[in-house]
Amino acid sequence: MTETVETGETGRGDGGSGRGFLLFLRDLAVIFLVALLISFLVKTFLIRPFWIPSESMNDTLQVDDRIIVSLLTPTVFAIDRGEVVVFEDPGGWLPEPQQEEETGLVGAIDWFLTFVGLAPEDDHGYLIKRVIGLPGDRVQCCNEFGQLTVNGVPIDEPYLHLDLAGQPASSMSFDVTVPEGHLWVLGDNRNHSGDSRAHMDAPGGGFVPIASVVGRAVLISWPVERWTWLDSYDSSFVGVEPQGAAVARELPLVVPG
């Protein structure tokens, strides 16, 4: 025997279909709002898209690449050497933005899509570099072979992009010890990157506060032909022993405004 479901309809012609259409619109609106909520939560606590505007991380990242950044680093997972991280400007690393923000309907749509995580962040206020030194590390350049050393161990950097083969890993010599709660970061396009070296004379000494780290770049999502997971090159830092405090694993979530 076939079961029936009571609909509560009285069979008054078009009234039932009209009410059904309104219910359909209501359900569609609920689904849309739930999807936006999920997208916002994912963007706030799990992953976030960003856009690459400069050549400082060539060839690992190229201009106009879109990347996915995991927000679980450093809030859940500790930062490791070799990882590519996005961080807020520690202060004075970036010039004041010259581009005027979109206004009107276009600006509202752009803001909304960015807010819910459906559009990548622009470059205003954020930088992306590779972590070379953790708290307590002594980072030097260069040894007699033109290599960086971390705590006295030479670093092989297969991700490095230099203007000419055989050039040292940095055209600028340095010898720094990373303070507690900070990082030493460098660009892969080493001779064309305004990284920690370029700000050694600034108030922060070129060090990036861990609290300013937004997350770890894990994936190139666009263009399709460049889709790839980003390597942290753990093997490059094998043998490097920690010299100071470990990176804190429990830090407040940095949610850029």
What is the pLDDT, as a whole number, of residue 228? 96
pLDDT digits (tens, 9 = 90+) for 175-207: 999 999 999 999 999 999 999 999 999 999 999
What is the pLDDT, as a whole number, of residue 5? 39
What is the pLDDT, as a whole number, of residue 242? 86
In the predicted model, what is the mean pLDDT of residues 95-100? Answer: 62
pLDDT category, 105, cuts 50, 70, 90?
low
129 as an active site residue: the answer is: yes
What is the pLDDT, as a whole number, of residue 2? 42
**For all residues of the chain together, what is the average pLDDT?**
82
What is the pLDDT, as a whole number, of residue 143? 96
Q: Which amino acid, one-letter code, is at 141?
A: C
Distance CA 86, CA 214 (A): 6
pLDDT digits (tens, 9 = 90+) for 21-77: 777 777 777 777 776 666 565 666 688 889 999 999 999 999 999 999 999 999 999
Tell me: pLDDT of 101 over 70: no
- Tell me which of 43, 70, 129, 170 is the catalytic residue: 129
Distance CA 150, CA 171 (A): 17
56 as an active site residue: the answer is: yes
- Tell me which of 43, 56, 70, 196 is the catalytic residue: 56
In the predicted model, what is the mean pLDDT of residues 94-102? Answer: 64
Q: Greater confidence, 41 or 257?
A: 41
Place of tokens 């997208």: 39
What is the pLDDT, as a whole number, of residue 114? 61
What is the pLDDT, as a whole number, of residue 257? 32
The DSSP code sequence of 124-184 is TTEEEEEEEE-TT-EEEE--TTS-EEETTEE---TT-B-SSTT--S-SS-EEEEPPTTEEE
Distance CA 174, CA 102 (A): 42
**Length, in residues, of the chain:** 257
Q: Structure pTM?
A: 0.74
Tell me: pLDDT of 87 over 60: yes
The strand order across the sheet containing 153-154 reads 153-154, 148-150, 138-141, 174-177
